[in-house]
């Protein structure tokens, strides 16, 4: 029912209705809080490089794997924080789908399970990407003394190439995928978690390249902000046929090359 504004409606009721109708608002809030945390703790405490790339001994695979097995909860927490900050704002449509598929009494829980599934997938994917970076450095004999900006440029060049592939549009469209979610009981939570995992996989297929560029740029805050801005514009502003973001990644690669040269 539509309630005309000239009727007496309590402000409490209005805010509740807005909270329900804009069920994704706290996802944006979580992202904002995560960004605040990253800004305030990203100076010294945040790992400048993934745990596997902490020193010149990174070319030693066994040492890298050893580091992986002893990777602290702290590093994983930072990964999760980065995912919340950078990726959650992309999930507005999916969160609304979960929110309105279930009964109101389990709505927030279902959204939480969805986001947990999504975050789980991304943490696993980010860990695998980090291992791949270590192997790449070893197999292609990338010198540990190679200027970081060259590595960053390579990462963004890969991101640009992947962006311009014809298959990108179909993968981007897959982000809109919905699934039927039971309205309550444990099944709704299980389906919500599964939906989060599958959405994370779809998201990984489109975003792995800029994420790789970020890892190869040793998680620079500036790069993080740039990538977040780029993927948000790609998701909500530019038409799926637009090539602008690809040009942004290519231009960023050029900038890093220029830094390396001069």
Binding residues for another protein, rule: CB under 8 A, are 1-5, 7, 9, 13-14, 17, 20-21, 96, 100-105, 169-170, 173-185, 187, 239-240
Task: Round to whole Å and give the CA distance between 13 and 18.
Answer: 9
In terms of CB distance, is 57 or 240 closer to another protein?
240
In terms of CB distance, is 146 or 165 closer to another protein?
165
In terms of CB distance, is 20 or 221 closer to another protein?
20
Residue 163 beta carbon to another protein: minimum distance, rounded to whole angstroms: 15
DSSP 51: G
CA 132: distance to chain centroid?
A: 18
Joined together, the tokens standing for residue 41 give: 């703790």
| Cα–Cα distance list, 177 to 67, 75, 102, 112, 219 (Å) | 37, 31, 17, 19, 30
Task: Round to whole Å and give the CA distance between 242 and 145.
Answer: 37
In terms of CB distance, is 231 or 257 closer to another protein?
231
Residue 77 beta carbon to another protein: minimum distance, rounded to whole angstroms: 32
In terms of CB distance, is 173 or 258 closer to another protein?
173
CA 76: distance to chain centroid?
A: 14
Task: Round to whole Å and give the CA distance between 221 and 108.
Answer: 31
Residue 97 beta carbon to another protein: minimum distance, rounded to whole angstroms: 9
Residue 15 beta carbon to another protein: minimum distance, rounded to whole angstroms: 11
Residue 241 beta carbon to another protein: minimum distance, rounded to whole angstroms: 9
């Amino acid at each position: 029912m539509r309630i005309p504004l000239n009727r007496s409606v309590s402000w409490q009721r209005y805010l509740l209705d807005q909270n329900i109708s804009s069920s994704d608002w706290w996802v944006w809030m979580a992202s904002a809080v995560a960004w605040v945390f990253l800004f305030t703790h990203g100076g010294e405490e945040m790992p400048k490089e993934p745990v596997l790339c902490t020193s010149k001994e990174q070319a030693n695979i066994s040492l890298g794997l050893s580091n992986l097995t002893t990777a602290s909860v702290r590093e994983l927490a930072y990964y999760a924080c980065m995912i919340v900050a950078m990726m959650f704002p992309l999930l507005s449509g999916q969160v609304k789908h979960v929110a309105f598929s279930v009964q109101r009494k389990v709505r927030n829980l279902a959204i939480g399970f969805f986001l947990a599934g999504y975050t789980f997938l991304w943490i696993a994917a980010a860990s695998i990407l980090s291992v791949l970076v270590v192997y790449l450095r070893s197999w292609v004999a990338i010198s540990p003394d190679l200027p970081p900006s060259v590595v960053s440029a390579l990462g963004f060049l890969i991101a640009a190439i992947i962006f311009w592939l014809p298959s990108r549009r179909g993968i981007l469209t897959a982000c809109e995928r919905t699934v039927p979610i039971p309205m309550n009981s444990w099944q709704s939570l299980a389906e919500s978690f599964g939906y989060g995992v599958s959405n994370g996989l779809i998201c990984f297929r489109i975003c792995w390249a800029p994420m790789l560029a970020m890892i190869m740029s040793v998680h620079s805050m500036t790069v993080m902000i740039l990538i977040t801005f780029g993927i948000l514009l790609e998701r909500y502003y530019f038409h799926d046929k637009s090539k602008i973001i690809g040009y942004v990644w290519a231009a960023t690669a050029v900038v890093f090359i220029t830094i390396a040269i001069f």
